[in-house]
Amino acid sequence: MRDTAREASPAPILPYSRIVGQGELKLALELNFIAPAIGGVLIAGQRGTAKSTVVRAFALMTGGCMPVTLPINATDDRVLGGWELDALMHGEARRQRGLLEEAHDKGLLYVDEVNLLDDHIVNIILDVVSTGVLSVQREGIDTETHVSFGLVGTMNPEEGSLRAQLLDRFGLMVTAAELDIEERHRMITTVLAFEEERLRADSGWLRAAEEDNRRLRDGLLAARARLTAVRLEADISRLCAEAAARTGAVGQRGDLLVAKAARALAAREDTDRVNARHVRRVLPLALRHRRPESVHGPEPAWGQDEEAAIDELFG
């Protein structure tokens, strides 16, 4: 019997449009796609909360391929690029591209368990994301390449957090949510349907899911194109600053990230200017990992105190 699974679906990943729940996680990924200057998304969550599934489904939806995945034991050579060892053994100097250049081609770099990665490697990646320049000066290599890609890191808080300096470098942070009973039920039926439909040579279920994916992708690309036309008035930028101050955000990076994320949300909604509702919606994403408590433990600090301060500001 002919194997139709590969024909029905290029990868065994649930279509992004069919993922149940995880609205905040998906919002963060979409805003980072619309406004790459946000600088990446960090996803915290317990094991089994679909972190990897959502990231991979998003990559397939937006770029048509799986993300470049950085292994925990990645070396400088693997990340930045170096010389091909096999070629060197035969007396030939041939440069090997690194994972960051591959991510430029595919559009997304995925770092699973980023909190277990060597801080030096994380620093390199974040520097390249923020500058858009990959500079390699080592072992006879002296190159400078302009690269652009989305960055997503995931971590299990049970295994520890990132250092505060690295935590702050991620534009947005979100916690993968536990599903309620109704969502768990929908998840079960959706995943089982997907596993069955993937085996069909011609699946209406998959066609509908991919059509929804196409519409989502087109909408995100359109939002990215109109981002620079979205206005951020002085009263709204002041609101971003006040919100960061009232929630005790450390440093000023959070103020700017609130503004960037709010503008991306306005573009996503096809409005020509940022309003207070956009700011209110993105505050937890941009500020939860910049609270003082965030540097002392693995869980992002955002709770009733922060919500009360924001409610008072927004009325």
Q: Which residue numbers are catalytic?
A: 253
Q: Which residues contact 204 (CB under 8 A, 6 or more apart)?
A: none
* Residue of 286, 288, 242 whose CA lies nearest to 27: 286
Sheet architecture: strand order including 41-44: 68-70, 108-111, 150-155, 41-44, 172-175
- Tokens for 17? 């449009």
83 φ, ψ (degrees, to nearest 5) = -100, 140
Question: CA 61, CA 55: separation in Å to the nearest integer?
Answer: 10
Question: CA 105, CA 68: separation in Å to the nearest integer?
Answer: 9
Conformational region of residue 121, where left means phi above 0, alpha means psi within -120 to 50, and beta covers everything else? alpha
Question: CA 276, CA 33: separation in Å to the nearest integer?
Answer: 22
Within 10 angstroms of residue 69's Cβ, the number of other Cβ atoms is 17
Helix 23-34 to helix 51-63 angle (10° resolution) is 40
Question: CA 110, CA 51: separation in Å to the nearest integer?
Answer: 11
- Tokens for 105? 């081609």
DSSP characters over 183-221: HHHHHHHHHHHHHHHTTSSS-HHHHHHHHHHHHHHHHHH
Check: CB of residue 200 under 8 Å from CB of residue 290: no
Question: CA 277, CA 315: separation in Å to the nearest integer?
Answer: 11
